Amino acid sequence: MNKNLNGLLQKVWPQKKILLSFITVLTLASCDKNEGIMEEAQTNSINSQNIKKGQLGGQAITYERKNGMNFFQGDIVLSDEQLAGNESHNKGGATLSRWPSGKIYYTVASNMGSINANKITNAVNEYNNKTNTQWIPRTNQTNYVEFIFGSSSGYDGWAHIGYQGGKQNISLDQNIDLASVIHEMGHTVGLYHEHCRKDRDQYVSIQWNNIQNGQAYNFDIYNSGTDIGPFNINSVMMYWPNSYSKNGQPTIKRANGTNFTYNRTGFTTGDLNTINSMYP
């Protein structure tokens, strides 16, 4: 989703608990444009009845239940099994959240449209050329990702986190940019949001008073993940400075209280190191 994010996966750690981490990726549009899009995309009010409490990796979390799915940190979809802590469930030779041998088979919905189909192709090339993951067009594999079409007027997306087995989705709105496609694919390989790292308070300051009512849980630290490498404020998995702002003011600043300009321009070295350490 255009909301910004980071995390972790494994190549072959069968039977071991998956720890998830956080990283970075790519955006070609300007910072000002995307920040405006983010504000527009996040104006929808939240139904408090849909806010749920659960467990993920042994940690208590807050998530939103809507359209029969569990949304964590805005655009990450968790399976019921993940929330139930059933991490011993083995599918296709890997535990939940890590794609076997780093191979991710995918297909594209027929109604995606040529513009977004081209973005998918470009994003796949970025992963295949720069990371140890392999995004491979599906033939008859049963464990795969389908890129599905979201809103015809939106700018966002969402994705299931990590490897879950069977068919899982990456949803893309009509106006999503290439960097945000890469961001959603980052969730698929197992990345959570950068601003939720355990060490984030050393580098950024969350402006809680500027966050929309009911959305503060999207800024909670995820302690059960594994942080790889140093904090990266330019990570593709980072939220925008004004994500979920209720008044146009920053919701995230640098730790010293100054504003920062966030402009995704592609994979950073930190992003690549994180993914490739997850998938050696």
Q: What residues form the annotated binding site?
A: 183, 187, 193
Question: Active site residue: 64, 126, 184, 194, which one?
Answer: 184
* Phi, psi torsion values for 2, nearest 5 degrees: -65, 15
CA distance 70 to 112: 23
184 is catalytic: yes
Annotate the chain with three-state secondary structure. Answer: CCCCCCCCCCCCCCCCCCCCEECCCCCCCCHHHHHHHHHHHCCCCCCHHHEEEEEECCEEEEEEEECCEEEECCCEEECHHHHCCCCCCEECCEECCCCHHHEEEEEECCCCCHHHHHHHHHHHHHHHHHCCCEEEECCCCCCEEEEEECCCCCCCEEEECCCCCCEEEEEECCCCCHHHHHHHHHHHHCEECHHHCCCHHHCEEECHHHECCCCHHHHCCCCCCCCCCCCCCCCCCCCCCCCCECCCCCCEEECCCCCCCCCCCCCCHHHHHHHHHHCC
Q: Do 187 and 156 meet the contact criterion of CB atoms below 8 Å apart?
A: no
- What are the binding residues for Zn(2+)? 183, 187, 193
The encoded tokens of residue 278 equal 């997850």
Closest residue by Cα to residue 176 from 118, 232, 136: 118
Tokens matching residue 122: 């470009």
Q: What's the CA gap between 25 and 127, in Å, rounded? A: 10
Active-site residues: which are they?
184
